[in-house]
Structure 1
Amino acid sequence: MRIAYLHSGSVPSIYANGVHVMRMCDAFADAGHHIELYAVPGAARTDDLHVYYGTRNRFPVHAVPLLTASTFGPLLRAQRVRRRIRRGPMPDILYGRDPYALLAAAGAAPVVYETHLLWPDRAVRGVERLLFRHRALTRVVFVTQALAEDYLAHFPQLRARTDVELVTASDGADPVPPTGPVAALPGRPDALRVGYVGHLYPGRGTDIILGLAARLPDADFHLVGGTDQDRSHWQGRNSRPNVFFHGHHPPAALPPYYRAFDIVLAPYQTTVGCAGGFGDISRWVSPMKLFEYMAYGKAIIASDLPVLREVLADGVNCLLRAPADTAGWAAAIEHLGADVSARQALGDTARHQLNTRYTWRARVDRVLPDRTLAATTGQP
């Protein structure tokens, strides 16, 4: 089946939405579909987009720039995307996270809209209302059940449309081999290695990690990711010799870091910022880092937020602690640091759950059910 993936963000970029989109396109290709991505050209430097993200498949990526930052910018870009698509061959499905482009191109094929947050922008919500009324819409994919519930509360017309499927599909990760290169981390070779991978936006818990480093001087803390500006901000507030900021690395370069960590952290707070610094996504967040932690069989300590309990279970595949309880987080690290078998048990369960429930390939099957494939391809 031919799928056009319409994305309003940029690739390559340092942001998680680019990773998500490239991973999903890769999984669509793994499933045997012909996938083409339409995205904003990125500012990140790379000679090869697929090498940067570490994809297994090489699929076409069409760069359609946003020519103006005004309110009309997304509308004008959407029209350009539609024209590019109509040059053919025509897709069987329009899939994506760009409501503007999906609405503009909706006459070309059935539409699947995926959303990761309840947009605070009134203009975007207006476009979504039009999309939710369009006869081409076949399903809406929500990244968490909490987000699905909020969308139904804000857009009651979705509940009334019996011809539109509403699907909840968490983020995911690819299974990884049990062995591979391990990063040579700075610090003490015999110290417990506590890792964090992700951005350093407000609400991501960087201050909690620095507080943990002060409480646990015998452990080394490694933070991988963040913009140059955010990293400089937190480095300027750190005086601990057991904290190491590794900066942003291409997604394809992260596996050695995951393998090097003994324990990994996801200290999301009760208010969580996202790319661009706007909004609060704490109620709906589905962090890819959690699933990547699971894929590598790491012992996870995460914030006890209702949305994370859609995937995580305390004492089963992780340890959950109150977001701001630094003492509780420190005690959890000390417990896992002293009990290798407990770390192994949590990591093994997490890896098994990832491999059986949360792979990108499994997610493709969830967002494109068999009955839809049959309807769009004419197969029985």
Structure 2
Amino acid sequence: MRAQVLQVVHTCHALAARGHEVTLLANPAKDAEVEAGPLLEAWGLPPISTFHLEIAPTRWSPGAGLWFRWKLGSWCDASPRDSVVYVREAKYLAVVGERPRVVYEAHCLERQRAAEEGEEAGVVEAMERAVLARSAAVVSNSGGTLAALEAAYGPDGGLPAIRRVIHNATRWDRVIDGEPVDPPVIAYTGSARAYKGVAALVEAMAAMPEVTLELIGGVPEGPMPPNVRAVPTVPYSELPARLARCRALVLPLEDNSFGRQFTSPLKLWDYLATGIPIVAADLPTVREIAGELPFYYPPGSASGLRSAVAAALASGPRPRRIRTWDDRALEVEAVLAEVVALPRSAASR
């Protein structure tokens, strides 16, 4: 399950639980048509009358796109003038129109991401400038993302005056106690995309045969040493029990723009809630969230990673740090209140 899906659904559900009328438009799962009710049930989220999850009636991308634009346009036309559209992708701005107020949530500097991924950076930059100019507020997922936006577009130029860093979160019911197993097991959860450092983690662990590394949900290409075990994607509700067996949890980010500036890893919030020692690359994005709790190592250093794993295994439980989706919803709610209170001229920019 993509981190973006988890973040968006849980934030919307938490806002609805606080009494807001929230409509979330979503694509269906790739492998099956799903209804909103079973989807929420799979995530352990109770139905709420103020949370309206509407799923596209087709997996065919052009058809789903047309449906999405029609639903969003219709909602904007019918909504009161103090309604807010919370945008995570600049490409949908053209559908929004002039009636609702806009809050843009940024997870990177889009023009930089486009250039790094070989896209047409000029087109992406134009969309990014347009959504920033139209927005009454900008929310970023990390301090690095906000700093990059301010450096690119000027602190007093293309950005709205209301700017906030609002990090991700986890859930109280994902905090469970368990008994670590012997021989020691450590774990990494999530995808194995090249820029996330998983391949380097696997290579480093080959020199620690006494420790088993579980890769839960993602496997890098190429052979793996005998002490590295690939675990198929674990159902969301079962992941905490799987982590509770572990002696350490690993966040092997690489020192690239994603790892250094643009991430607020959902897995890190899950890790912090367990009290299990964390091994993490020493990067500003991690320290911004976790402070001095993890056992840090220099990014890209295999020997440093192994030393941090050894230190984590020799330590006891760490203090738990729990930030819930309701905490995040409170922060989003405060931004929405500021936006709604703005004069129309300031909100429309």
TM-score interval, smaller chain: 0.7 to 0.9
State the 1:62 CA deviation: 1.9
State the 1:18 CA deviation: 0.8
CA contact (8 A) 1:193 1:260 kept: yes
The structure with more helix, counted as a fraction of residues: 2
**Unpaired runs of 5+ in structure 1?**
1-13, 273-279
Whether 2:265 is the aligned partner of 1:287: answer yes
Q: 1:255 to 1:177 in 2, by over 3 A?
A: closer
Alignment correspondent of 1:85: 75
Whether 2:165 is the aligned partner of 1:165: answer no
Whether 2:14 is the aligned partner of 1:27: answer yes
Range 320-329 or range 192-201, more displaced: 320-329
What is the aligned counterpart of 1:271 among 256, 261, 282?
256
- Please list every run of at least 4 consecutive aligned residues from structure 1 whose deviation after the TM superposition is greater than 6 angstroms: none
SS at match of 1:159: helix
CA contact (8 A) 2:261 2:285 kept: yes
- Aligned-pair RMSD on alpha carbons? 3.0
CA contact (8 A) 1:19 1:251 kept: no
Alignment correspondent of 1:138: 136
State the 1:256 CA deviation: 1.4
SS at match of 1:26: helix
Alignment correspondent of 1:41: 28
Identity %: 21
Quote the Cα distance in structure 1 between the aligned partners of 2:253 and 2:159.
Answer: 36
Alignment correspondent of 2:347: none
What is the aligned counterpart of 1:194 among 182, 186, 202?
186
Alignment correspondent of 1:324: 300
Give TM-score, length-normalised by structure 2. Answer: 0.82
Q: 1:133 to 1:77 in 2, by over 3 A?
A: farther
Quote the Cα distance in structure 2 between the aligned partners of 1:319 and 1:260.
Answer: 19
CA contact (8 A) 2:101 2:339 kept: no
Whether 2:186 is the aligned partner of 1:210: answer no
CA contact (8 A) 2:90 2:131 kept: yes
Give TM-score, length-normalised by structure 1. Answer: 0.75
Give CA deviations for 1:208-263 in whole Å, capped at 9, x if unaligned. 3323432222211111112xxxx3x54x41131x2211122333332212222221
What is the aligned counterpart of 1:239 among 225, 244, 266?
225
Give CA deviations for 1:259-295 in whole Å, capped at 9, x if unaligned. 22221000011237xxxxxxx5643111110011011
CA contact (8 A) 1:92 1:109 kept: yes
SS at match of 2:73: helix
Q: 1:321 to 1:130 in 2, by over 3 A?
A: same
**Within 5 A, what are the aligned runs for 1:57-206?**
57-58=47-48, 59-64=51-56, 79-86=69-76, 88=78, 92-119=83-110, 120=114, 121-134=121-134, 137-156=135-154, 159-160=156-157, 164-176=161-173, 179=176, 189-206=181-198
**Unpaired runs of 5+ in structure 2?**
115-120, 343-349
Alignment correspondent of 2:345: none
Quote the Cα distance in structure 1 between the aligned partners of 2:28 and 2:175.
Answer: 35
What is the aligned counterpart of 1:299 among 268, 273, 277?
277
Quote the Cα distance in structure 2 between the aligned partners of 1:178 and 1:17.
Answer: 21
Give CA deviations for 1:38-63 in whole Å, capped at 9, x if unaligned. 12233144672112333244532223
Range 87-96 or range 289-298, more displaced: 87-96
State the 1:142 CA deviation: 0.7
Quote the Cα distance in structure 2 between the aligned partners of 1:30 and 1:307.
Answer: 29
Quote the Cα distance in structure 2 between the aligned partners of 1:36 and 1:176.
Answer: 25
CA contact (8 A) 1:192 1:262 kept: yes
